[in-house]
Amino acid sequence: MTNKKPIHYTGVAKFLHWAIALIIIMMLVFGQGFDEIKTKAEMTFSLAGHSSLGLTVISLLVLRILWRIGHPAPDLPESVGSGQKTASKLSHLLLYALMIYVPATGLYTIAAHEFAAVPYGAFDLRSALNFLGTDDFDGRRALHEFGTWLLMALLAVHISAALFHQFVQKDGVLRRMWFGGGKPAK
């Protein structure tokens, strides 16, 4: 038996972190193309892809939040000052808030869309969200877009902080979320 505290995230937490990151970055990049769409066929295809990835992200996020409740993040190394620890907690909380806000406003926007969205080719999501009303598509879309800009800004801070730890402070903080080695958090 050892008392040593775990220094790595669990394999499940790592998988969920990188899967969600990959999908969100893809959505942020491909989402920029919505303004260029000219035909109904293109819009239907894009809405199907965007809503499939969106529902996947929502499912993974629910799993991640449930997993996180039972498996707290490992403590940061002692070399990380208290100001940096507070900033890290605050930015992670904001990231979670935006990861909820952006998909939620996406669903709100789909409900008022001119065209149906059929995620995974399986069902008509717009009709399923009928209870959210269908007024003011532009206002809803603006709420969603605003969230995506905030998310991009916060992701830039998050990635810069990870790289700063890795290459300037060299304190192993990024390695805690990378694969292989280390004792996982319980």
Residues that bind ligand HEM (CB under 6 A): 24, 27-28, 31-32, 34-35, 50-51, 54, 57, 102-103, 106-107, 109-110, 113, 125, 141, 144-145, 148
Least distance in Å: CB of 179 to ligand HEM?
23
Of 7 and 51, which has the nearer Cβ to ligand HEM? 51
Dihedral, CA of residue 117, residue 122, residue 123 and residue 125, to nearest 10 = -40
Report the residue number, 75 or 124, with the smaller CB distance to ligand HEM. 124
Supply the minimum distance, in Å, between the C-beta of residue 27 and ligand HEM: 4
Residue 8, phi then psi, degrees to nearest 5 = -115, 155
Please give the Cα distance from 12 to 132 (Å, whole number): 34
CA distance 51 to 170: 39
Closer by beta carbon to ligand HEM, 60 or else 173: 60
Nearest approach in angstroms of CB 168 to ligand HEM is 29
Dist CA 11 CA 108 (whole Å): 33
One-letter amino acid of 33: G
Which residues are paired to 138 by β-bridges?
none
8 secondary structure, DSSP code: B
Closest contact distance (angstroms) between CB of 63 and ligand HEM is: 15
Q: How far is the CB of 137 from ligand HEM (least distance, A)?
A: 8
DSSP bridge pairs for 184: 8
Q: Residue 35 has which token pair?
A: 């303004």
Closer residue to ligand HEM, CB minimum distance, 116 or 177: 116
Nearer to ligand HEM, 142 or 163 (CB): 142
Q: Identify which of 44, 19, 41 has the alpha carbon closest to the alpha carbon of residue 125.
A: 44
Residue closer to ligand HEM, measured from CB, 7 or 118: 118
Minimum separation from the CB atom of position 155 to ligand HEM (A)? 10
Cα separation of 143 and 3, whole Å? 48
